[in-house]
Amino acid sequence: MAKDCVLLAAVSLLSAAQQAYFAKQVGNARMKYKIAPPSVTGSADFERIFRAQQNSIEFYPLFLVVLWTSGLFFNEEVASVFGLIYLFGRHVYFTGYKESTMGRIPGFKIGISILLVLFILSFFGITTCIIDKYFDFNVIKKISKLFP
């Protein structure tokens, strides 16, 4: 069973490493801008890095949910590729936000677009699975019969 989701697991593990990297960046920024814990304000530069990480944390469980539901109910390879693009988008977001407030926008747009795509794939996959399981009607089979 584990074999059927190994790519999703690999993308998830990479995303966990990215989250750890972001957290480390905040720690480094605390040193650089001399913001002692528990404070999270006092320097606009620090606050941008902190908010960039906070925003990534906010979207992280949401990302994991759509990654796994699209991977399990639509297609594992497709979901994994989009997952990698999402992580790239988040990296662009973080490095952009670090530079300036406006710099967060390009990466943010990539991230949101990918989440939307994964959401739609999940929705499609889950819906066809529910119809198949509870109404005994296999949408995919019916469509493929139309094109023999």
Residue of 89, 2, 99, 87 lying closest to 44 (CA atoms): 99
Task: Choose the stretch contacting a second copy; rule: CB under 8 A; options: 67-75, 78-86, 88-96, 139-147.
Answer: 67-75
By beta-carbon proximity to a second copy, the closer residue of 81 and 146 is: 81
User: And the tokens for 100?
Assistant: 């300036």
Does 81 contact a second copy by CB under 8 A? no
DSSP code, position 14: H
Q: In a 10 Å sphere around its CB, with 0-12 CB exposed, 13-18 middle and 19+ buried, how is residue 87 labelled?
A: middle
Pick the binder of a second copy from 42, 57, 75, 109 (CB under 8 A). Answer: 57
Does 12 contact a second copy by CB under 8 A? yes
Does 141 contact a second copy by CB under 8 A? no
Pick the binder of a second copy from 99, 101, 106, 140 (CB under 8 A). Answer: 101
Residue of 122, 40, 55 lying closest to 89 (CA atoms): 55
By beta-carbon proximity to a second copy, the closer residue of 9 and 143 is: 9
